[in-house]
């Protein structure tokens, strides 16, 4: 099946838009006591308290992607290209739905992922997760191989300003080359805007 870059972007957008209403309707369990007329305790808020750790920001961004590995057959050389990336933070959890599109002048691939996010500093997360890389055509390599394959991901994101974040990840494509069993490794990075 051959997909153009536009079709790959549409597929990624539809994937995120399809998951968003389902995920956002999940209601967390509530252990809050029932309301009474009595005052149980009074809480004083310290205005000098540190900022919250991590970020729950949803964003769309763009950047670059570079392959670090190659397959053993012709046409399976390491490639570099561009990337489009998005994150939707699942409310009341430490999980995020992410989608990325990597592309070169000849080929593109869509990678939806589910990640577990850990706040490490104000506005900064590290994340680890898994997904699947859907390659639109297996005649040329993407930065993450030339065959659709499972992907493991480790990354970091940090909020620079009110609406701007930077992100980066190292992705590992398992058995990601058509003519070999080689593992593909790619680095991605860029900047995003909150929505």
**Residue 121 within any structural domain of the chain:** yes
- Structure confidence at residue 97 (pLDDT): 98
47 pLDDT exceeds 50?
A: no
**Residue 171 within any structural domain of the chain:** yes
Alpha-carbon Rg for the chain, nearest whole angstrom, is: 20
Share of the chain above pLDDT 90, in %: 50
- Structure confidence at residue 49 (pLDDT): 43
Neighbours of 125 (CB within 10 A): 27
Nearest to 172, CA basis, from 188, 184, 156: 184
**Residue 40 within any structural domain of the chain:** no
Share of the chain above pLDDT 70, in %: 71
Q: Are 85 and 96 in contact (CB under 8 A)?
A: no
Tokens of 115: 């990640």
**Residue 133 within any structural domain of the chain:** yes
pTM attached to this predicted model: 0.71
**Residue 87 within any structural domain of the chain:** yes
CATH of the domain at 90: 2.40.160.20
Query: Which domain range does residue 128 map to?
Result: 5-23+55-194
**Residue 95 within any structural domain of the chain:** yes
38 pLDDT exceeds 80?
A: no
171 pLDDT exceeds 90?
A: yes
- Structure confidence at residue 48 (pLDDT): 44
Q: 36 falls in which pLDDT band (50, 70, 90)?
A: low
172 pLDDT exceeds 90?
A: yes
Report DSSP state, residue 68: -
Q: Based on the structure, what is the number of domains in the chain?
A: 1
**Residue 33 within any structural domain of the chain:** no
Say how far apart CA 146 and CA 8 lie, in whole Å.
15
Q: 93 falls in which pLDDT band (50, 70, 90)?
A: very high
C-alpha dihedral (108, 111, 117, 120), degrees to nearest 10: -20
- Structure confidence at residue 46 (pLDDT): 47
């Amino acid at each position: 099946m051959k997909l153009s870059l536009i079709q790959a972007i549409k597929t990624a957008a539809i994937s995120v838009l399809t998951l968003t209403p389902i995920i956002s309707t999940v209601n967390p369990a509530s252990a809050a006591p029932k309301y009474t007329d009595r005052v149980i305790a009074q809480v004083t808020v310290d205005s000098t308290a540190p900022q919250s750790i991590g970020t729950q920001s949803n964003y769309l961004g763009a950047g670059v992607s570079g392959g670090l590995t190659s397959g053993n057959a012709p046409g399976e050389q390491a490639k570099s290209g561009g990337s489009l990336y998005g994150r939707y933070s699942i409310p009341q959890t430490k999980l995020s739905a992410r989608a990325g599109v990597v592309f070169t002048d000849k080929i593109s691939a869509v990678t939806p992922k589910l990640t577990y996010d850990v706040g490490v500093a104000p506005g900064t997360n590290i994340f680890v997760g898994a997904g699947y890389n859907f390659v639109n055509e297996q005649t040329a390599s993407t930065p993450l191989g030339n065959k659709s394959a499972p992907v493991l991901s480790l990354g970091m994101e940090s909020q620079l300003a009110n609406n701007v974040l930077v992100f980066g990840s190292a992705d590992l494509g398992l058995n990601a080359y058509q003519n070999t069993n080689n593992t593909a490794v790619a680095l991605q990075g860029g900047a995003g805007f909150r929505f």
